[in-house]
């Protein structure tokens, strides 16, 4: 599908959404008109960087407001730390136990379920990897994943920022909301995926008064980075002049990530108010999630020891996503608001991204189209959260399982990771070590074996045909390179090379001084 004209007006900058109310909990769709559904997937958004989830910096006032008016799931795990498999899983409601970067043609998708029920379906993604060829167009009357050439002189592609994305989708959304002569229209399923928190991070200087870069929080525990780098990185004191600008660069860009989150939050606030004036929020369910989080130098990069010993701090530590399954990469936000959703409710029991599909179906009274591995969270809205023993994530480099009763988390490396970087199993006790600093695998081999057996059971229960080696896509490979992805076509956003521009030590603007 073609994107809307660039002349489409941008949503006006107005006050935060006000005056929206939820319908009474318990009214089924058979008793009322089926609601519109708005699904917002903010790319690369960590839950722990949101004020809504307890982050002490005011990064998300609009999301805070939605949480106060809706239901917030406090512990959500995404099924992958890399966009393509994560979105395949989210759009199908199924676990992935092997790598997939396109949707199987025989598997029903979330948009298709709404289209079959008579919904008008509109979608736009600023993540250019979610192509029609990968199956993400299925079920949409209008789907726009279009990248933008950087300039007329430079044909390299870049992802749209949220302002461009909102401008491009405005006209198609207006058409979907158009009413007939009797003032009626079908319900609408509207999907939007902004990309702004993804690197490279933009320094929104207008927001520095509310989020001063100087106040960026340090990686916990204090001095962990310096001590780890001193023990395993290039020779020389980590605080020496050789590394001073490198540490400043990392702090600056972590601060810019917070600014990107706040910028996205503000633009979504304006957009929702604009959509309300179009009639979208007369009777609507809004779901807010993310495909995965982001590594902001919280852990050591996936490299062999000899490579780490030659890497400056921004390469020694891992900044991106897709190369590991630590909590900063898989713990994501999940919020429901609107028709049939209680206000001010917080659900502490762990849930997963695959629960979104069955939840939206049940809220809208739609049939389940086939196998869904997720669990509807509608009972949780009424105080009966479905219980589960484990939550799972998968990426090309390995599989993670978190046992909810014990707080233990096992990360089991894949054969790919063992061969490439020599990874070994990692076991963490998240109740005592939430930052995943102390690997207990060597001290507790029985727990490693027990949780590894659970992973084997999970794989056997949810077999996934892999897509590795299938559907080579030269155009997508070029877009990956243009966006700065340095892994292979299926290699995710793995460790960078020394000439990767996104990992150089010179920041775009002056970073905050080292504290």
Paired sense of beta strands 334-338 and 345-347, if any: unpaired
Distance CA 280, CA 187 (A): 9
Q: Helix (H, G, I), strand (E, B), or coil: what is residue 8?
A: coil
CA distances (Å), origin 281, targets 21, 130, 192, 293, 482 = 9, 27, 15, 28, 37
Calculate mean pLDDT across residues 409-413. 97
Distance CA 56, CA 37 (A): 31
Which structure tokens are listed for 135?
């199956």
Q: CB–CB of 149/183 below 8 Å? A: no
Checking if the pLDDT of 24 tops 50, the result is: no
Long-range contacts made by residues 97-100, C-beta under 8 angstroms, separation at least 24?
Answer: 97/394, 97/399, 97/458, 97/459, 97/462, 97/463, 97/464, 98/394, 98/463, 98/464, 98/465, 98/466, 99/394, 99/395, 99/396, 99/466, 99/467, 99/468, 99/490, 100/464, 100/465, 100/466, 100/467
Checking if the pLDDT of 259 tops 50, the result is: yes
Query: What does the pLDDT look like over 302-323, one tens digit per residue?
Result: 888 899 999 999 999 999 999 8
Instruction: Read off the pLDDT band of 12 (50, 70, 90).
Output: very low
> From the centroid of its chain, how far is CA 100?
17
Query: What does the pLDDT look like over 76-129, one tens digit per residue?
Result: 999 999 999 999 999 999 999 999 999 999 999 999 999 999 999 999 999 988
What is the structure's pLDDT at 1?
44
Instruction: Read off the pLDDT band of 415 (50, 70, 90).
Output: confident
The residues, any chain, with a CB within 8 Å of residue 508's CB and separated by 6 or more, are: 200, 203
What is the structure's pLDDT at 162?
97
Share of the chain above pLDDT 70, in %: 82
Top mean pLDDT of 31-40, 303-312, 325-334 is at 325-334
Checking if the pLDDT of 498 tops 90, the result is: no
Calculate mean pLDDT across residues 354-367. 97
Calculate mean pLDDT across residues 20-42. 66
What is the structure's pLDDT at 470?
79
Hey, which CATH number is domain 33-384, 3.40.720.10, 2.20.28.120, 3.40.50.620, 3.20.20.70? Answer: 3.40.720.10
Q: CB–CB of 325/77 below 8 Å? A: no
DSSP string, 136-174: TTTT-SEEE---EES-SS---EE---HHHHHHHHHHHHH
Q: CB–CB of 113/369 below 8 Å? A: yes
Calculate mean pLDDT across residues 470-491. 62
Checking if the pLDDT of 241 tops 70, the result is: no
Calculate mean pLDDT across residues 216-238. 86
Checking if the pLDDT of 343 tops 60, the result is: yes
What is the structure's pLDDT at 486?
53
Let me know the angle formed at the C-alpha of 398 by 393 and 402, rounded to the nearest 5 degrees: 40
Calculate mean pLDDT across residues 294-309. 93
Distance CA 503, CA 485 (A): 11
This prediction's pTM: 0.88
What is the structure's pLDDT at 385?
77
Checking if the pLDDT of 338 tops 80, the result is: yes
Checking if the pLDDT of 363 tops 50, the result is: yes
* 32 or 425: which leads in pLDDT: 425
Paired sense of beta strands 390-395 and 157-158, if any: unpaired
Instruction: Read off the pLDDT band of 21 (50, 70, 90).
Output: very low
Paired sense of beta strands 148-149 and 71-73, if any: unpaired
What is the structure's pLDDT at 364?
97
What is the structure's pLDDT at 154?
59
What is the structure's pLDDT at 471?
66
pLDDT averaged over every residue in the chain: 86
Distance CA 234, CA 286 (A): 49
* C-alpha Rg value of the chain to the nearest Å: 22
What is the structure's pLDDT at 421?
80
Q: Which range, of 127-141, 230-244, 430-444, averages the lowest pLDDT?
A: 230-244
Looking at residue 232, the DSSP 8-state letter turns out to be: H
């Amino acid at each position: 599908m073609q994107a809307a004209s660039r002349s489409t007006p941008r949503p006006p900058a107005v006050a935060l959404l006000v005056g929206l109310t939820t319908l009474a909990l318990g009214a089924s769709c058979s008793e009322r008109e089926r609601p519109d559904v708005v699904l917002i997937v903010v790319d690369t958004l960590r839950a722990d960087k949101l004020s809504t989830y307890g982050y002490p910096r005011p990064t998300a006032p609009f999301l805070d407001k939605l949480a106060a008016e809706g239901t917030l799931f406090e512990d959500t795990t995404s099924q992958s730390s890399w966009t393509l498999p994560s979105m395949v899983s989210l759009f199908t409601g199924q676990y992935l136990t092997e790598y997939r970067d396109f949707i199987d043609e025989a598997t029903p998708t979330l948009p298709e379920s709404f289209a079959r029920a008579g919904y008008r379906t509109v979608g736009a993604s600023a993540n250019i990897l979610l192509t029609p060829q990968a199956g993400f167009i299925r079920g949409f009357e209008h789907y726009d994943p279009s990248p933008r050439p950087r300039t007329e002189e430079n044909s390299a592609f870049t992802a749209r920022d949220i302002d461009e994305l909102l401008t491009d989708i405005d006209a198609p959304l207006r058409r979907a909301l158009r009413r007939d002569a009797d003032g009626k229209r079908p319900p609408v399923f509207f999907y939007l995926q902004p990309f702004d928190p993804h690197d490279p991070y933009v320094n929104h200087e207008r927001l520095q008064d509310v989020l001063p870069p100087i106040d960026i929080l340090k990686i916990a525990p204090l001095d962990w980075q310096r001590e780890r780098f001193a023990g395993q990185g290039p020779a020389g004191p980590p605080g020496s002049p050789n590394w001073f600008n490198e540490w400043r660069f990392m702090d600056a860009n972590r601060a810019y990530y917070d600014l990107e989150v706040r910028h996205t939050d503000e633009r979504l606030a304006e957009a929702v108010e604009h959509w309300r004036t179009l009639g979208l929020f007369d009777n609507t369910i809004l779901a807010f999630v993310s495909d995965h989080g982001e590594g902001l130098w919280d852990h050591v990069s996936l490299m062999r020891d000899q490579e780490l010993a030659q890497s400056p701090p921004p390469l020694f530590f891992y900044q991106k996503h897709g190369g590991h399954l630590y909590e900063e990469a898989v713990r994501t936000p999940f919020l429901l608001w609107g028709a049939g959703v209680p206000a001010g409710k917080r659900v502490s029991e762990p849930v997963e991204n695959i629960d979104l599909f069955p939840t939206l179906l049940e809220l809208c009274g739609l049939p389940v189209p086939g196998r869904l591995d997720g669990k509807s969270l509608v009972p949780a809205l009424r105080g009966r959260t479905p219980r589960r023993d484990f939550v799972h994530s998968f990426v090309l480099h390995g599989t993670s399982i978190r046992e909810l009763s014990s707080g233990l988390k096992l990360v089991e490396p894949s054969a790919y990771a063992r061969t490439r970087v020599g990874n070994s199993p990692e076991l963490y006790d998240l109740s005592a070590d939430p930052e995943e600093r102390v690997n207990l695998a060597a001290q507790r081999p029985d727990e490693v074996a027990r949780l590894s057996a659970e992973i084997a059971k999970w794989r056997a229960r949810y077999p996934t045909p892999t897509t590795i080696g299938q559907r080579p896509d030269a155009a997508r490979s070029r877009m990956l390179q243009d966006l700065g992805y340095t892994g292979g076509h299926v290699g995710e956003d793995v460790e960078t090379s020394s000439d990767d521009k996104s990992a150089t030590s010179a920041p775009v603007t002056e970073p905050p001084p080292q504290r």
